[in-house]
């Protein structure tokens, strides 16, 4: 089996059936990952054919990275060659990632600058029963700003039907959208979605940082703890994914709280609440309709 076919097998073991043959030219290539949104190219690979064929591949969306070689090195010289190839591929991937994030941030800042204030009657806001706060709107899409290091690095676009998309290639890890002013000596909540953050802010008056997904709770919590130290009380307000195996919302929130020495809280479900409800916005809306 040739280098390309061997490498393709490794790709397909991770991503499923693919419709292309890899090019072993030592350059970084993108590809569509089965199951991702149509038109996206979140997959990447780099493979070298000479010497011991070796390379790397992964998904920008998933944040994954895997190394590959056609065989085990037979001696220290070959092992060093493979190590250098993998390191070169890693640097190429990181450079490509930085470029993608830079382009997304520039586009996001233009969209944000040109957008109007969000319509308080936008269907998503009405459905979630939250105010627009500082959101903006482009066409029929709400724009949720994500900041990292004080800079706008990405936008989450929310359609009237509740569909959500980040800017392609935009940074998510460690970035968050804040509601309210973060001040020393005050409690700061960290949660997943923006609507949950809006609910927590409206009901508590405390500032809230929305990390957008369960996997980002830990990076956001660590970033905020590093910035403010023990001068703020961090509380992770987790989702309770009761119908999902392993309850990823509860698991991630608990782990994030432990990582930063913070507190953790979850919705306190009254009797009769449907099992598919999972976050504080769900709970607030159910209570508004039933109490």
Q: Which of 104, 128, 149 is the last residue before a domain boundary? A: 104
Is the domain of 27 the same as that of 136? no
Helices 194-204 and 280-290 cross at an angle (nearest 10°) of: 60
285 shares a domain with 149: yes
Q: Last residue of a domain, which of 104, 126, 153?
A: 104
Q: Of how many residues is the chain composed? A: 291
Cα 191 from Cα 201, distance rounded (Å): 11
Whether 124 and 243 map to the same domain: the answer is yes
Bridge partners, 67 (sequence order): 56
Instruction: Report the sign of the C-alpha dihedral through residues 32, 36, 42, 45, in that order.
Output: negative
Q: Give yes or no for a contact between 179 and 218, defined as CB atoms under 8 angstroms apart.
A: no
Same domain assignment for residues 77 and 218? no
Work out the end-to-end distance of the chain between its first and last CA atoms, rounded to an integer number of angstroms: 67
Pair 142, 269 in one domain: yes
Domain-located, residue 208: yes
In this predicted structure, what is the pLDDT of residue 112? 98
Do 14 and 96 lie in one domain? The reply is: yes
Last residue of a domain, one of 74, 104, 134: 104
Residue 87 lies in a domain: yes
Do 129 and 270 belong together in one domain? Answer: yes
Report if residue 134 sits inside a domain. yes
**How many Å apart are CA 173 and CA 157, to the nearest integer?**
17
User: Is residue 165 a part of any domain in this protein?
Assistant: yes
Q: Same domain for 284 and 189? A: yes
pLDDT of residue 118: 97
Answer yes or no: is 109 within a domain. Answer: no
210 and 127 fall within a common domain: yes
CA angle, 127 then 128 then 131, to 5°: 110
Q: What's the CATH number where 146 sits?
A: 3.40.1360.10
- What range does the domain containing 153 cover? 115-290
Residue 133 lies in a domain: yes
pLDDT one digit per residue (tens) for the chain, 291 residues = 688 899 999 999 999 999 899 998 888 899 999 988 888 888 999 988 877 888 889 898 877 888 888 888 778 888 888 888 888 888 888 888 899 899 999 999 999 999 999 999 999 999 999 999 999 999 999 999 999 999 999 999 999 999 999 998 899 999 999 999 988 888 999 999 999 999 999 999 999 999 999 999 999 999 999 999 988 999 999 999 999 999 999 999 999 999 999 999 999 999 989 999 999 999 999 999 987
Looking at the structure, tell me whether residues 93 and 136 fall in a common domain.
no
In this predicted structure, what is the pLDDT of residue 167?
94
Distances (CA, A) of 114 to 78, 120, 145, 247, 250: 54, 18, 13, 40, 38
Query: Considering the domain boundaries, does residue 110 fall inside one?
Result: no
Q: How many domains does the chain have?
A: 2
Verify that 38 and 174 share a domain, yes or no.
no
Q: Are residues 31 and 73 in the same domain?
A: yes
Residue 60 lies in a domain: yes
């Amino acid at each position: 089996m040739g280098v390309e076919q061997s490498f393709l097998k490794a790709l397909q073991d991770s991503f499923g059936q693919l419709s292309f043959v890899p090019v072993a030219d030592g350059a970084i290539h993108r590809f569509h990952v089965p199951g991702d949104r149509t038109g996206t190219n979140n997959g990447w690979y780099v493979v070298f054919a000479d010497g011991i064929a070796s390379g790397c591949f992964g998904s920008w969306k998933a944040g994954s990275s895997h190394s590959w070689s056609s065989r085990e090195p037979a001696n220290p010289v070959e092992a060093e060659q493979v190590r250098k190839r993998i390191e070169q591929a890693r640097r190429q991937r990181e450079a490509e990632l930085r470029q993608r994030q830079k382009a997304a941030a520039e586009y996001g800042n233009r969209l944000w600058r040109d957008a109007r204030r969000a319509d308080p009657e936008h269907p998503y806001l009405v459905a979630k029963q939250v105010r627009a706060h500082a959101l903006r709107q482009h066409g029929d899409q709400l724009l949720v700003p994500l900041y990292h290091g004080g800079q706008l690095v990405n936008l989450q676009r929310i359609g009237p039907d509740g569909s959500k998309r980040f800017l392609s290639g935009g940074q998510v890890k460690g970035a968050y959208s804040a509601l309210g002013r973060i001040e020393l000596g005050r409690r700061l909540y960290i949660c997943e979605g923006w609507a949950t953050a809006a609910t927590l802010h409206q009901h508590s008056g405390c500032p809230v940082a929305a990390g957008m997904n369960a996997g980002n709770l830990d990076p956001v919590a660590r970033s905020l703890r590093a910035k403010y130290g023990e001068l703020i009380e961090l509380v992770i307000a987790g989702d309770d994914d009761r119908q999902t195996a392993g309850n990823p919302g509860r698991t991630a929130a608990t782990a994030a709280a432990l990582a930063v020495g913070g507190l953790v809280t979850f919705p306190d479900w009254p009797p009769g609440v449907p099992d598919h409800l999972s976050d504080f916005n769900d709970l607030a809306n159910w209570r508004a309709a039933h109490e």
